[in-house]
Structure 1
Amino acid sequence: MTVKAILDQKGRDVFTVGPDITVAEAGRQLSKHKIGAIVVVDTSGKICGIVSERDIVRSIAEKGPAILENPVSTVMTSSVKVCDDNHTVNQLMEMMTQGRFRHLPVEVDGKIGGIVSIGDVVRMKIEQVEREAEEIKAYIAS
């Protein structure tokens, strides 16, 4: 099972923002779209960061509510790990576990081509295990 299979199932739409929007607006976008992270892109569409709900909460806890008026670039993670269509579910699980993050942008030709969440990875892994169990049952029954 690969990233391509995940994105073929869920779609490649990604909500992005520019680095100059405020942290408050990023928070509003997270809430509006009911998502946990937004990819930050420059004017050419190149990934320059990612900001999650956790990033915003940590920033408020450390610097106070005034941080909400700062540009999102001040709280985003700028060294973003990315994957591509060929990464496997097992590779994604390893990357997410080691990096301790829940969202992984998919990069295609240097630009954002989708996003995979830990929920997507778990769902695909469960489907894979259930499919294998059914195959074993069918094999035993025949």
Structure 2
Amino acid sequence: MSVTVRMILDEKGRNVVTLGPTVTLGEAAATLHQNKIGAVVVVGMENRIVGIFTERDLASAIGRMGAQALELPVSKFMTANVHRCNEDSTVNELMELMSSKRFRHVPVESDSKLIGIISIGDVVKQRIREVEMEAEHIKAYIAG
């Protein structure tokens, strides 16, 4: 049985830190820091995803524009083309998506609305669990 996003969200919770597109880059940076997270989902009307803003986007904005970037809206620097998954997506599908596209956070949608977020840490933790269970099964088989 493949582990799905639904299973991960049921365990870790479905809370997602979000911001509106008009929040300044400085406010977005403070939100990342205060919540000890690496990405925040940018939502518009009806909690619909309009972008994702990551630590990488923050570094890029400041690198390009300096401190003046901190006063500009996060929508100017966010990634607007957000890859999403749904609750039926598997851990293996997410590993493939995250490694091929080189990102660490995937918002989860249902009926075009944000319902959770999966990080690379969530995927790695689940994969480690699977490998440990396989090892235990092999030990029991050899011992039996």
Task: Give TM-score, length-normalised by structure 2.
Answer: 0.96
Give the equivalent residue in structure 2 for 1:27. 29
Task: Note the aligned Cα RMSD (angstroms).
Answer: 0.7
Alpha-carbon shift at residue 16 of structure 1 (Å): 0.4
Matched, 1:70 2:87: no
Could you list the per-position Cα deviations for residues 56-110 of structure 1 after superposition, in whole angstroms to 9, with x for gaps in the alignment?
1111001111011000000000000000111111110110011110000001110
Give the equivalent residue in structure 2 for 1:124. 126
Q: Residue 64 of structure 1 aligns to a residue in which SS?
A: helix
Alpha-carbon shift at residue 43 of structure 1 (Å): 2.3
Q: Which residue identity lines up with residue 22 of structure 2 in the other structure?
A: D
Give the equivalent residue in structure 2 for 1:140. 142
Q: Residue 98 of structure 2 aligns to a residue in which SS?
A: helix
Give the equivalent residue in structure 1 for 2:113. 111
Q: Which runs of 5+ in 1 are unaligned?
A: none
Q: 2:101 aligns with which of 99, 102, 119?
A: 99
Q: Which residue identity lines up with residue 30 of structure 2 in the other structure?
A: R
Residues matched between the structures, number: 142
Contact 1:50 1:76 in 2 (8 A): yes
CA distance, structure 2, for counterparts of residue 8 and residue 128 of structure 1 = 17
Ranges of 4+ aligned residues in structure 1 off by more than 4 Å = none
% of aligned pairs identical? 54
Q: Residue 101 of structure 1 aligns to a residue in which SS?
A: coil
Q: Which runs of 5+ in 2 are unaligned?
A: none
Alpha-carbon shift at residue 132 of structure 1 (Å): 1.0
Alpha-carbon shift at residue 46 of structure 1 (Å): 0.3
Q: 2:50 aligns with which of 48, 51, 68?
A: 48
